[in-house]
Amino acid sequence: MDIFADFGERVRASIKALGWRAADGADLDLGRIVVEPPRDAAHGDLAVNAAMVLAKPMGRKPRDLAIELMGALAADPDIAETEVAGPGFLNLRLTPAAWGRFLARVLISGPAYGRGVVARGRVNVEYVSANPTGPMHVGHCRGAVVGDALANLLGFAGHEVTKEYYINDAGAQVDVLARSAFLRYREALGETIEIPEGLYPGDYLKPVGSRLAEIHGRGLIDLSEADWLPIVKPFTIDAMMAMIREDLAALNVVHDVFFSEKSLQAGPTGDRVAQAIAKLTADGLMYQGRLEPPKGQLPEDWEDREQTLFRSTAFGDDVDRPLMKSDGSYTYFASDIAYHLDKFERGFGEQIDIWGADHGGYVKRMQSAVKAISGGSARLEVLLCQLVKLFRAGEPVKMSKRSGDFVTLRDVVDEVGVDAVRFMMLFRKSDAPLDFDFQKVTEQSKDNPVFYVQYAHARTASVFAQAREALPGFDLGESGLAGAELDRLTDVGEIGLLKRIAQWPRVVEAAAEAREPHRIAFFLHDLASDLHGHWNRGKDLPQLRFVNVDDPLSSHARLAMVRAVAQVLASGLAILGVKAPDEMR
RNA sequence: GGCCCCGUAGCUCAGGGGAUAGAGCGACAGCCUUCUAAGCUGUUGGUCGCAGGUUCGAAUCCUGCCGGGGUCGCCA
């Protein structure tokens, strides 16, 4: 179904039939031969680089080889024209009949068109993993969307994907959360409270305090912290996670697994963190030692001390890393190692984590750890998402996290809608910073790529509504459309759309391979642009309109093409988690 | 100072071995008795940060600089 891969095979077969060999008589490496869409449409439908790649090993001139290959391919009935161009490109143009058969196959495949055909194995994508200390803020938004879209993309490309969320419910910050909730509890009981520096001031803890008061009455008020903490903490964490799940649902993000950090230390199989460290110790990767102080600015409270270190430098890290704090408790890194070991033991040799760019310094050590705990058989990839800068009509939006006065993810989704948020977060490479303007993303104009792409899909639906009225006799189902006289599609705009559609499988594959879901968004924008452009040509040239009562057979073929466009738009938008609407009123 | 990311049109950014480097915005000029003008067409605009290297071919890969951002033992 991928015509580029298809013709790649035909080219390789022709080369074998020609009996080409390397200058020394050895077999040629045909792996570097690619068949791809030429940048310039004037160069035809497919460009073959075989002659240039093989010229050196064969000791011959690229243009001579291209001419020879051109002769061998001339017998292919699907090829209408061939030409040798530039430094030795062989350009191919397909016949309308070949394009028609391609389109028919796309329609028969339906929503499966572009889906990976080979199984690519299991992969675990961990994203969001926001601390359960409050509602999600905009900072979490990009990672959530990128992770979710990447997981969708990998699934579409043929991986078996698990979407996972790591709940940091074991550190000191959840104790702080519990204390903050306890204050709200006292407040709910009528006390006047003052929230000291360092506790979470947000109003979102008020309902938690009220519910604690409802459940426990004054029962907790005279307990010592050691006694109320085990009650208040899990209750509050559960409330925060419920809130976060609602936020995620509003963003159209759903995880398969929520994994608790706390469960690592107090799970049914004992202390998993200790077990992970024991494993590293058994492998000779732990030792007591001292670290050099960091170069550059020395931390004020630096103190040379012997500590429990993991030999991460043996796996590519810059320095060895401590796994125990001075008070004997585990560092966050220690828990994280145990967590990634758990993922490995659950069968995930492929792990992808989505982090904020401020965690960039953490990448190497975590990758080192994954290598260490898996004996080198597991791989961790980390995608770093750069910051999102918020604007309102060109003016930066000020935020103060300390006062609790930050923009929540919910604020953004409620204001601009989930589709606009998701699409805009994906309309940029994730390692480039992103400007997000509330004004612009809600504009309903071509300046707004979300609406531009969605409108293209709506337009296809509109064309079909028109067709059902104007051409009542036609079968507009997939098989009916596939049976139309598709070789009537010969206009440059029509072939252009088919060529764009033909790229879909390779775009999916390349985007999945590169872990770059933004490529899907850009592809959809291009496809939408092709459709809008061709649609508009029907104004000057009525004979090109999709629905034309004077030429029902061509109309039928064009509707088949429009259906294929709609299919690809819908598939792509589904990967991005954006709706493909039938109307935009 | 070490490590990571970025540097492409006036602006925001795609392109990450292939031919004459693209899109949107901006600016300018057009297109509505016509399938949704929520749209389309054209014009304008570039020493791809700099210098070497690899290659038949480099914006793309490698090295070194320059500039911007992030980060740097017991925060998660």
> Which residue's CA shows the smallest distance to C1' of B7?
A432
The residue among A427 and A442 whose pLDDT is bigger is A427
Average pLDDT over residues A182-194: 96
For A465-517, write each residue's pLDDT tens digit. 989 988 888 888 888 999 999 999 999 899 999 999 999 999 999 999 999 99
Residues 6+ apart with CB under 8 A from A139: A356, A387, A388
Q: How far is the CA of A499 from the C1' of B63 (A)?
A: 40
Q: Is the pLDDT of residue A444 over 90?
A: no
Nearest nucleotide by C1' from A33 CA? B18
> Which residue's CA shows the smallest distance to C1' of B4?
A360
Residue A540: band (very low, low, confident or very high) from pLDDT cuts 50, 70, 90? confident
User: A114-152: b or e for each residue (b if 16 or more CB lie within 10 Å)?
Assistant: bbbeeebeebbbbbbbbbbbbbbbbbbbbbbbbbbbbbb
Q: How far is the CA of A89 from the C1' of B52 (A)?
A: 30
Average pLDDT over residues A119-123: 92
Average pLDDT over residues A548-572: 93
Q: H/E element holding A227?
A: helix A225-250
Q: How far is the CA of A536 from the C1' of B37 (A)?
A: 10
Candidates A321, A268, A270, A271; CA nearest to A294 is A321
Nearest nucleotide by C1' from A174 CA? B76
Residue A283, pLDDT score: 94
Q: How far is the CA of A172 from the C1' of B76 (A)?
A: 8
Q: How far is CA A20 from the centre of its chain?
A: 42
For A392-425, write each residue's pLDDT tens digit. 877 788 765 544 556 889 988 998 899 999 999 9
Helices A363-373 and A332-345 meet at what angle, rounded to 10?
Answer: 50
Centre a 10 Å sphere on the Cβ of residue A490 and count the other Cβ atoms it contains.
Answer: 13
CA torsion sign for A192, A197, A199, A205 is positive
Q: How far is the CA of A153 from the C1' of B36 (A)?
A: 31
Nearest nucleotide by C1' from A55 CA? B56
Q: How far is the CA of A424 from the C1' of B14 (A)?
A: 14
> Which residue's CA shows the smallest distance to C1' of B20?
A40
Residue A435, pLDDT score: 86
Residues 6+ apart with CB under 8 A from A255: A128, A163, A164, A165, A248
Q: How far is the CA of A436 from the C1' of B70 (A)?
A: 20
For A226-235, write each residue's pLDDT tens digit. 999 999 999 9
Which nucleotides in chain B have some atom under 7 angstroms from a protein Cβ?
1-7, 12-16, 18-26, 31, 34-41, 55-57, 69-76
What CA–CA distance (Å, rounded) separates A321 from A336? 13
For A2-57, write each residue's pLDDT tens digit. 999 999 999 999 999 999 999 888 888 898 899 999 988 888 999 999 999 999 99
Tokens of A309: 């270190």
> Which residue's CA shows the smallest distance to C1' of B32?
A539
Residue A585: band (very low, low, confident or very high) from pLDDT cuts 50, 70, 90? low
Which residue type does A414 have?
D
Nearest nucleotide by C1' from A173 CA? B76
> Which residue's CA shows the smallest distance to C1' of B34?
A539
CA torsion sign for A233, A234, A235, A236 is positive
Nearest nucleotide by C1' from A327 CA? B74
Q: How far is the CA of A34 from the C1' of B55 (A)?
A: 17
Residue A297, pLDDT score: 63
> Which residue's CA shows the smallest distance to C1' of B12?
A435
First to last CA, chain A: 36
Instruction: State what percent of residues in chain A have pLDDT above 70.
Output: 97
Distances in whole angstroms, Cα of residue A229 to Cα of each of A34, A174, A175, A194, A259: 63, 10, 8, 19, 22
Q: How far is the CA of A566 from the C1' of B60 (A)?
A: 33
Residue A402, pLDDT score: 47
Instruction: State what percent of residues in chain A have pLDDT above 90.
Output: 71
The pTM score is: 0.95
Please answer whether residues A195 and A404 qualify as being in contact, where contact means their C-beta atoms are separated by less than 8 angstroms.
no
Please answer whether residues A366 and A353 qualify as being in contact, where contact means their C-beta atoms are separated by less than 8 angstroms.
yes
Please answer whether residues A324 and A289 qualify as being in contact, where contact means their C-beta atoms are separated by less than 8 angstroms.
no
Nearest nucleotide by C1' from A170 CA? B76
For A136-169, write each residue's pLDDT tens digit. 988 899 999 999 999 999 999 999 999 999 999 9
Average pLDDT over residues A221-243: 96
Helices A225-250 and A172-188 meet at what angle, rounded to 10?
Answer: 100
Q: How far is the CA of A526 from the C1' of B23 (A)?
A: 9
Q: Which of A234-248, A266-280, A532-546 has the highest mean pLDDT?
A: A234-248
Rg (CA), chain A: 30
Tokens of A40: 């310039």
Residues 6+ apart with CB under 8 A from A335: A170, A261, A264, A265, A273
Average pLDDT over residues A347-363: 93
For A100-150, give the DSSP string.
HHHHHHHHHHGGGTT---S---EEEEE-----SSSS-BHHHHHHHHHHHHH
Average pLDDT over residues A453-463: 92
Mean pLDDT of chain A, nearest integer: 91
